[in-house]
Amino acid sequence: MIFPLVLLSLSLPSDVAALAARANAVASAESLAAIHADLASEPHVAGTPADRRQIERIAAFFRGLGLETEIHEIRPYLCRPVAASLEIVGEEPPAGGRRGVSSLDLRERNLVEDPSLAHPDLSWGWNAFSGSGQVEAEVVYANYGTREDFARLRALGVECRGKIVLARYGGNFRGYKAKFAEAAGAAGLVIFTDPADAGFTKGPTWPDGGWANETCIQRGSLLTLPSPGDPLTPGVEATDGAARLDPAEVALPRIPVQPIGYAAAERILARMKGREVADAAWKGGLPVAYRLEGGPELTLRLKVEQERFLASTANVIARLPGATRPREEVIVGCHHDAWGFGASDPHAGTMVLLESARSLAEAARAGVRPDRTVTFAAWGAEEFGIVGSVEWVEGRRERLERDAVAYVNLDMAAMGPNLGLGGAPALGPATFAALGLAEDPFAPRTILAGMTREGKPPALGNLGGGSDHVGFWCHAGVPSLTISSGGSAGTSYHSNYDTVAWYRATVGDDYRAALLVTRACNAIVASFASAPERPDDPAAMLDDAARLVAAIASRVKDAGLAVDLAPLESSLAEARAAAAAWPDRPLPPARRDADRAAIRAAWLDTEGLPGRPWFRNRYAATDRHSGYGAAMLPDLSEAIEDRDAERAARAVDELAATVTRIGNVLAAP
């Protein structure tokens, strides 16, 4: 979404500018570094004793700022690793090994350069919610394990049934790799990080550089249920007394799934004897032939054992009450759980959350207070399926629909000098105007000026899945924004190497990236919390909808479908005309905010998407096949993808009616 430069030069009220300036005078790189070291001081997987210590650590920090602080307890269904092994069967053994069996490493190697890697709470690589069991089977290589990749294997006559599928990370959420492998009849799945995507072909590997070395293993959840959050309480907050589904009736993964590093993957690929892949896009960066099948002489023995259980974890919620409009709420959040130390994921964002809370609390103590309440939320168990934030939203959905002004997400936010934003189009103008109030720590300019390239205004990307904004934006319809920065040379994503030592060597020990994101966050929150009117711009939302419909029209034409988009295009034209005139109408701020509330409600569908009723926002949902991407105008776009002309026609009518209601709100006397 591109916003005209005239919108980016909006003058913000003096109280917004004063709050942003006072908060950003408090924020410092030194404070961020200290907070970061504390947050990433020990491994703290959700549901463990260390997770509880992290919860108490964050709560103590918020209380020390004088904020109203609550530990919001939840009881989600989580899991933990018990045992795992992966062996190549039927080859000459290493010295001292069993004949015919060679074990593959499932843990990162320790490094002299980073003593924290010897911490006893660090585990081998594992994928949460893997099925438990032992299988021994031949191997099939499935590239990234996307829906298209499995379709390609079928077209080539490659049988996955009864085999162990080998797939590389990337292309989609790891859970869909497992889902598609299971649907293809696979007996098990092994996922590896390929050097072409994150290893030595990108640059020097850790500890010589920041990229993944040969033993780096990506952990992560495999859940792909119709809704995020606790798998046993869809749509209901996971409290102690909540009614729960029977786990046996929930579509949790059944096959064993194991992640590995690329040294272990190379040992498997080097022994495969089948057809070499013809498509260059299927070839990775290892110095071996990538083949579709291993052949009968190559057998893997995979064993995974996990325990699933009702866990105790919590969100930490801290509030800075608003001075004049305390019922209205701006929420800023990032999760606190990690697969290990979590120096980058999540704490490259959690440290910004805490520093922003410190900045605004200090400003309030100095007499510069936001008009609306600002809530700071450290979410629990995000890594297991966006659990903590979703449970919180589900328990407060009606209140959030009424009172939440915006949600700002900071997951893994400070990872380099290049700032990026994604979010609801309606927040774009206010967001970029706010960035004109904050100084860029990398150069003598505003952050907005740093994002403007060759006179072109910055863009606001679409919000997909994968983090804590999903409950707010896709379920409750709260306008949401993600702030993040990137550009550093490396990744330690979900590995044991995600330590403070890696972060400081790769992203920077000066913490300028974290200061950049903190200043951006403070300015944006100041704007959302203290502007006389709510920040959502109806015209920006409708303009983006028109852009999306134009793109859909091209897809309809390419697919050869008989879908008439004219009713939607006509309603958009009328509503956009009303939106263009709306700012100049002599309406009081309270009326404008009432109009915004009515427009937000118009986008919500009480019945939700077909087959995915938890997703209630007609404007945006997560992509149903990748998990990470965004599905924009999802009912219509999914119908076209499925070549379902009847559903597409219904979606056109419903969207046209929605847009007409919005236009009527904007044109009402």
Rounded Cα distance between 287 and 35, Å, is 42
Backbone angles phi, psi at 72, to 5 degrees: -95, 105
Long-range contacts of 589-592 (CB under 8 A, 24+ apart): 589/532, 589/533, 592/533, 592/534
Rounded Cα distance between 180 and 199, Å, is 26
Q: Contact, 624 vs 539, CB < 8 A?
A: no
Q: How confident is the model at residue 93, as a pLDDT?
A: 55
For residue 247, is the peptide bond before it cis, meaning its omega torsion is within 30 degrees of 0? no
pLDDT tens digits, 189-234:
999 999 999 999 999 999 999 999 999 999 999 999 999 999 999 9
Q: Which SS3 state, helix, strand or coil, does residue 111 take? A: strand
| Residue length of the chain | 669
Q: Are residues 283 and 324 in the same domain?
A: no
Strand locations in 429-563, DSSP E? 480-486
Q: Residues with Cβ < 8 Å from 277, sequence gap 6 or more?
A: 141, 143, 283, 290, 291, 292
Query: Token digits for 98?
Result: 């069993």
> Which DSSP letter does residue 116 get?
G
Q: Are residues 286 and 411 in the same domain?
A: no
User: How many Å separate Cα 326 from the centre of its chain?
Assistant: 29
Ordered strands of the 133-137 beta sheet: 101-103, 77-89, 299-310, 133-137
Q: Give the residue numbers spanning the domain of 623.
A: 538-667
Q: Collect the ranges in the chain with pLDDT lower than 70.
A: 1-12, 91-99
- Read off the CATH number of the domain in which 567 is found: 1.20.930.40
Q: Are residues 188 and 60 in the same domain?
A: no
Q: Are residues 416 and 485 in the same domain?
A: yes
C-alpha distances in Å from residue 219, one per residue of 30, 127, 381, 383, 597: 31, 5, 14, 10, 40
For residue 273, count other CB atoms closer than 10 A to its CB. Answer: 12
User: How many Å separate Cα 272 from the centre of its chain?
Assistant: 35
Rounded Cα distance between 150 and 128, Å, is 23
Q: Which SS3 state, helix, strand or coil, does residue 128 take? A: strand
Q: Are residues 355 and 491 in the same domain?
A: yes
Q: How confident is the model at residue 6, as a pLDDT?
A: 34
C-alpha distances in Å from residue 193, one per residue of 52, 84, 200, 207, 473: 31, 18, 11, 17, 31
Q: Which amino acid is at 388?
A: G
Q: Which of 271, 305, 339 is the last residue of a domain?
A: 305
Rounded Cα distance between 636 and 616, Å, is 14
Q: Are residues 236 and 341 in the same domain?
A: no
Q: Which residues of 432-454 are buried (b: 16+ CB within 10 A; e: fewer)?
A: bbbbbbbbbbbeeebbbebbbee
Backbone angles phi, psi at 453, to 5 degrees: -115, 120
For residue 135, count other CB atoms closer than 10 A to its CB. Answer: 18
Q: Which of 285, 305, 325 is the last residue of a domain?
A: 305
SS (H, E, C) 64-78: HCCCEEEEEEECCEE
Q: Which of 305, 333, 360 is the last residue of a domain?
A: 305
Q: How many domains does the chain have?
A: 3
Q: Are residues 389 and 469 in the same domain?
A: yes
Q: How confident is the model at residue 92, as a pLDDT?
A: 53
Q: Are residues 34 and 161 in the same domain?
A: no
DSSP annotation string for 246-307: -GGGS----S-EEEE-HHHHHHHHTT--SPBP--GGG--SSSS--BSB--TT-EEEEEEEEE
Q: Are residues 111 and 167 in the same domain?
A: yes
Q: Are residues 564 and 647 in the same domain?
A: yes
Q: Are residues 605 and 580 in the same domain?
A: yes
Q: Are residues 116 and 41 in the same domain?
A: no
Q: How confident is the model at residue 1, as a pLDDT?
A: 47
- Read off the CATH number of the domain in which 105 is found: 3.50.30.30
Q: What is the pTM of this model?
A: 0.95
For residue 17, count other CB atoms closer than 10 A to its CB. Answer: 18
- Read off the CATH number of the domain in which 323 is found: 3.40.630.10
